[in-house]
């Protein structure tokens, strides 16, 4: 049988290595493994959420409320929008899938940054759309503007952006949106926004203001990062109702679990946990920056919960990642992004200490 | 902006009403609500699984092992196939999405039964494929054979089938597959197979034998029914490696949750729970059949964990479902399948007693 020809050109996503795999492949005990590879919240989830999960274990045979009433209501309150402005995804990742399936046809043009979250281009390739990228590695809206003449049907802006951690100012994003055709959908991937807006309020994009001013914008957020629910797979998008309605047509029913739904609602209610996480994150980030100066490695100032260390010529990031791995320290080698760099999630204080120790050992 | 024209013709899936919604809409207390609408296992999940969920609540910030190594290994052992023969989905439902995105182009033909699981046609419509259906309401392979001349790219066989509960004999399925072109993918949706094979071994289709004989067949199973994990969203497919590889190209990473992965592995290990569930199911099914005779309602002998009650002319199933709902009894009105019937999940003994009592009250 013949599968679609587009599949031939698709490389599959390389996920951060899970702890189980390192235990299996290197025979290292779980207690000795530190995972700083997938931008998970080192505090875990809010204790209120983990307590709730334990209480709800007896309900896992029940399908979730497929209207996600409770979660949409809580998000609508938080962001001062209506339930009709919201769709729920299995991570914000799945929102990009919805956009792909609802919008993109073979030959359509998608514009994105040269270096950005890998899944955008993979989804676009699945639909046969053509991805064009800016020349610049960091998000540069002038570089995007130059490419508007290519008539993209979809533009991805990732702010703050994975894997560099750079973030755009809201005013610049809005000025850019003024220059974009109303026929182009602009997806603002704000997976790390809780961190960026904590560090610098100029980075904060409020979805309400965004969609009121720009009917062709869609804001995506996630519970996987600051809320500490990476394993629960819950994300959301906020946009005008006509966009949300179109995306709902390609959403499968029950696309998140019963426990994920409950966890997300509970997590939204514990904003103190999010603040504590962001506070810890940037305190520890300062230690990483000092460490980078100390050992002589470059980095990009980061608005996220990770820092990307750029290796000097002649030193291989892939080799460093591999050496760290053998000692139970999992970080993300960015070779698949064509970067000689590693991305390190900001961990607990003792986890970060361990990273500094192992990295120093390797580096000298 | 212009979404794909296919979306205009898509009606969204009507899910079974969740308990929360009935509490909200009718002001009925949770304790007084009985839900027999979504073919969930009335025993819940295995106690081993619920205990595990509670123990793992502290790990929900961790992404799952995206290779699903442990689950594929356990499934490979159970079905005596290789890990390369297996793909994991968010319910077997998501496997149908993978098939759609990997295989179907605008204008392709998909063949399915006249009355069958609603999502097949919805997915096909999303891709612009044309669904053709048999004339017969119950699965009739002769009716399928007649339509092979239409050159379908994909055929859905649902055995046992939702919403009638009828099941095909393995020998008949294999004889049919002999007549199908090797260029046509045949999906065998076996979501309720644990029940069917318990009732009658002639219904049992072993995926290993299936894919060894038919390189164009794909078997799908789920943890949502007999395993009692409806809310965890885990399903799987078994096929030749070339098919599995193509489907992996359209699978997003982390498509099930960390807890779902662990729950499915643990559930597979408790086959006694599955047997107990099936045993209870058919003991109670006999009571439903006797009840149907008593009140004078038709039914189709069912190989699943639900029974579909076919209303006589002049009595409205939709009205009955609505009357039951107001008293806290949630069953599934099959109006959306163009049937004057209700589908009732076999519940716990006391839940079934309650159904008989409320139905008698309404019926007289």
Question: Quick check: B52 and B258 in contact, CB under 8 A?
Answer: no
How far is residue A116's CA from residue A184's CA, in Å, rounded to a whole number?
19
Return the pLDDT at B62.
Answer: 96
A233-279: pLDDT as tens digits: 999 999 999 999 999 999 999 999 999 999 999 999 999 999 999 99
Residues in chain A with CB shorter than 8 Å from the CB of B274 are none
| Nearest CB partner across the interface for A250, out of B54, B63, B126 | B126
Instruction: Measure A61 CA to nearest chain B CA, in Å.
Output: 4
B137-152: pLDDT as tens digits: 889 999 999 999 999 9
Return the pLDDT at B14.
Answer: 67
Return the pLDDT at B22.
Answer: 80
Residue B100 in contact with partner chain A when CB distance is under 8 A: no
Chain centroid to CA B240:
22
If we measure between CA atoms, which residue out of B313, B343, B349, B58 comes closest to residue A51? B58
Return the pLDDT at B52.
Answer: 96
Question: Quick check: A59 and A52 in contact, CB under 8 A?
Answer: no
Q: What would you report as the CA-atom Rg of chain A, rounded to the nearest whole angstrom? A: 20
Q: What is the largest CA-CA distance in chain A?
A: 58
Return the pLDDT at A30.
Answer: 86
Residue B73 in contact with partner chain A when CB distance is under 8 A: no
Q: Flag whether pLDDT at B101 surpasses 80.
A: yes
Segment B7-22 shows an average pLDDT of 77
Half-sphere exposure of B305 (CA within 13 A, CB side): 31
Return the pLDDT at A358.
Answer: 97
Residue of A182 and A20 predicted with greater confidence: A182
Exposed/middle/buried for residue A142 (C-beta within 10 Å: 0-12, 13-18, 19+): exposed
Residue of B nearest to A6 (CA): B102
Q: Per the CB < 8 Å rule, is B101 touching A38? A: no
* Cα angle for residues B364, B15, B205 (degrees, 5° grid): 95
- Residue among B233, B241, B267, B330 with most chain A CBs within 10 A, to mutate: B233
Residues in chain A with CB shorter than 8 Å from the CB of B40 are 61-63
Q: What ranges do the domains of chain A cover? A: 14-39+272-363, 47-269
Q: Give the bridge partners for B333, in sequence order.
A: B342
Q: Per the CB < 8 Å rule, is A231 touching B58? A: no
Q: Flag whether pLDDT at A191 surpasses 90.
A: yes
Residues in chain B with CB shorter than 8 Å from the CB of A184 are 1
Segment B12-21 shows an average pLDDT of 72
Task: List Cα–Cα distances, A228 to A261, A277, A278, in angstroms.
Answer: 14, 9, 11
Mean pLDDT (chain A, rounded)? 95
Handedness of CA A18, A21, A25, A26 (dihedral sign): positive
Q: Per the CB < 8 Å rule, is A57 touching B54? A: yes
| Nearest CB partner across the interface for A254, out of B10, B91, B103 | B91
With bands split at pLDDT 50, 70 and 90, how would you rate the model's confidence at B345? very high
With bands split at pLDDT 50, 70 and 90, how would you rate the model's confidence at A132? very high
- Gap between the terminal Cα atoms of chain B: 55
| Nearest CB partner across the interface for B7, out of A15, A51, A246 | A246
Mean pLDDT (chain B, rounded)? 95
Residues in chain B with CB shorter than 8 Å from the CB of A243 are 1
Question: Quick check: B258 and A263 in contact, CB under 8 A?
Answer: no
Segment B290-298 shows an average pLDDT of 96
Return the pLDDT at A14.
Answer: 67
Return the pLDDT at A335.
Answer: 94
Q: What percent of chain A has pLDDT over 70?
A: 99
Q: What would you report as the CA-atom Rg of chain B, rounded to the nearest whole angstrom? A: 20
How far is residue A214's CA from residue A238's CA, in Å, rounded to a whole number?
12
How far is residue A65's CA from residue A257's CA, in Å, rounded to a whole number?
10
Residues in chain B with CB shorter than 8 Å from the CB of A126 are 101, 249-250
Question: Quick check: A148 and A125 in contact, CB under 8 A?
Answer: no
A5-16: pLDDT as tens digits: 999 888 777 666
- What 3-state class would DSSP assign to B34? strand
With bands split at pLDDT 50, 70 and 90, how would you rate the model's confidence at A113? very high
Q: Give the bridge partners for B157, in sequence order.
A: B188
| ipTM of the complex model | 0.96
Q: Enumerate residues 107 to 136 of chain B having a beta carbon within 8 A of any beta carbon in chain A.
A: 119, 123, 126
Complete edge-to-edge strand list for the sheet that includes strand A217-222? A86-89, A235-238, A217-222, A185-189, A154-158, A109-112, A130-133
What is the residue-wise DSSP string for B26-75? H---GGG-EE-SS---TT-S-HHHHHHHHHHGGGTTSPP-TT-HHHHHHH
Q: Enumerate residues 234 to 293 of chain B having a beta carbon within 8 A of any beta carbon in chain A.
A: 243, 246, 248-250, 252-260, 263
Structure tokens at B352: 């079934």
Residues in chain B with CB shorter than 8 Å from the CB of A40 are 61-63
Return the pLDDT at A119.
Answer: 94
Structure tokens at A242: 């006509």
Residues in chain B with CB shorter than 8 Å from the CB of A43 are 61
How far is residue A346's CA from residue A359's CA, in Å, rounded to a whole number?
14
If we measure between CA atoms, which residue out of A13, A43, A24 comes closest to residue A280? A43
Q: Per the CB < 8 Å rule, is B4 touching A102? A: yes
Count CB pairs under 8 A between chains A and B: 237
Burial pattern B82-102, b for ≥16 Cβ within 10 A else e, equals ebebbbbbbbbbbbbbbbbbb
Question: Quick check: A60 and B50 in contact, CB under 8 A?
Answer: yes
Structure tokens at B205: 């289709």
If we measure between CA atoms, which residue out of B325, B332, B335, B360 comes closest to residue B346? B332
Residues 6+ apart with CB under 8 A from B101: A4, A101, A126, B127, B250
Question: Quick check: B360 and B295 in contact, CB under 8 A?
Answer: yes
Return the pLDDT at A312.
Answer: 94
What number of other Cβ atoms are within 10 A of residue A135's Cβ? 10
How far is residue A276's CA from residue A168's CA, in Å, rounded to a whole number?
23
Return the pLDDT at A27.
Answer: 86
Q: Are strands B109-112 and B130-133 parallel, antiparallel or unpaired?
A: parallel
CATH number of A14-39+272-363: 3.90.1150.10
Q: Are strands B34-35 and B109-112 parallel, antiparallel or unpaired?
A: unpaired
- Gap between the terminal Cα atoms of chain A: 55
What number of other Cβ atoms are within 10 A of residue A257's Cβ? 29
Question: Quick check: B225 and B196 in contact, CB under 8 A?
Answer: no
Residue of B nearest to A89 (CA): B255
Q: B19-26 and A69-79 are packed helices; what angle lies between their axes, rounded to 10 degrees?
A: 70
A32-80: pLDDT as tens digits: 899 999 999 999 999 999 999 999 999 999 999 999 999 999 999 999 9
- What 3-state class would DSSP assign to A181? coil
- What 3-state class would DSSP assign to B169? coil
Exposed/middle/buried for residue A327 (C-beta within 10 Å: 0-12, 13-18, 19+): middle
Instruction: Measure A364 CA to nearest chain B CA, in Å.
Output: 32
Lowest mean pLDDT among A13-27, A278-292, B316-330: A13-27
Instruction: Measure B166 CA to nearest chain A CA, in Å.
Output: 23
A282-329: pLDDT as tens digits: 999 999 999 999 999 999 999 999 999 999 999 999 999 999 999 999
Question: Quick check: B10 and A249 in contact, CB under 8 A?
Answer: yes
Task: List Cα–Cα distances, B265 to B4, B65, B74, B229, in angstroms.
Answer: 39, 13, 7, 11
The second-level CATH assignment, the architecture, of A47-269 is: 3-Layer(aba) Sandwich (3.40)
Return the pLDDT at B203.
Answer: 98
Element (H, E) at A171: helix A170-179
Return the pLDDT at B250.
Answer: 96
How far is residue A266's CA from residue A174's CA, in Å, rounded to a whole number?
32
Q: What percent of chain B has pLDDT over 70?
A: 99
Q: Per the CB < 8 Å rule, is A60 touching B13? A: no
């Amino acid at each position: 049988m013949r599968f679609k020809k587009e599949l031939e050109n698709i490389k599959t996503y390389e996920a951060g290595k899970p702890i189980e795999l390192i235990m299996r492949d290197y025979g290292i005990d779980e207690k000795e493994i530190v995972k700083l590879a997938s931008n998970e919240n080192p505090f875990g989830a809010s204790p209120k959420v983990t307590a709730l999960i334990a209480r709800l274990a007896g309900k896992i045979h029940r399908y979730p409320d497929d209207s996600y009433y409770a979660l949409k209501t809580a998000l609508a309150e938080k962001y001062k929008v209506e339930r009709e402005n919201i769709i729920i995804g299995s991570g914000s990742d799945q929102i990009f899938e919805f956009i792909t399936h609802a919008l993109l046809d073979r030959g359509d043009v998608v514009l994105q940054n040269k270096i950005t979250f890998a899944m955008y281009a993979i989804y676009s390739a699945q639909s046969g759309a053509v991805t064009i990228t800016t020349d610049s590695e960091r998000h540069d809206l002038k570089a995007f503007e130059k490419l508007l003449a290519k008539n993209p049907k979809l533009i991805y802006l990732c702010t703050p952006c994975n894997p560099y951690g750079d973030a755009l100012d809201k005013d610049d994003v809005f000025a850019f949106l003024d220059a974009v055709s109303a026929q182009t959908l602009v997806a603002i991937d704000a997976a790390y926004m809780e961190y960026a807006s904590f560090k610098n309020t100029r980075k904060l994009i409020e979805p309400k203001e965004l969609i009121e001013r720009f009917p062709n914008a869609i804001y995506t957020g996630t519970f996987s990062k600051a809320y500490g629910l990476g394993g629960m797979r819950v994300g959301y998008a906020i946009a005008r109702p006509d966009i949300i309605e179109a995306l709902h047509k390609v959403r499968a029913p029950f696309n998140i679990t019963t426990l994920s739904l409950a966890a997300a609602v509970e997590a939204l209610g514990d904003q103190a946990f999010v603040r504590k996480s962001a506070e810890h994150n940037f305190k520890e980030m300062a230690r990483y920056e000092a460490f980078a100066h100390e050992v002589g490695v470059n980095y990009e100032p980061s608005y996220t919960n990770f820092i990307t260390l750029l290796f000097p010529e002649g030193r291989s990031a892939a080799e460093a990642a591999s050496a760290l791995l053998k000692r139970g320290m999992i970080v993300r080698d960015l070779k698949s992004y064509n970067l000689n760099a590693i991305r390190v999630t900001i961990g607990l204080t003792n986890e970060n200490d361990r990273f500094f120790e192992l990295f120093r050992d390797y580096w000298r």
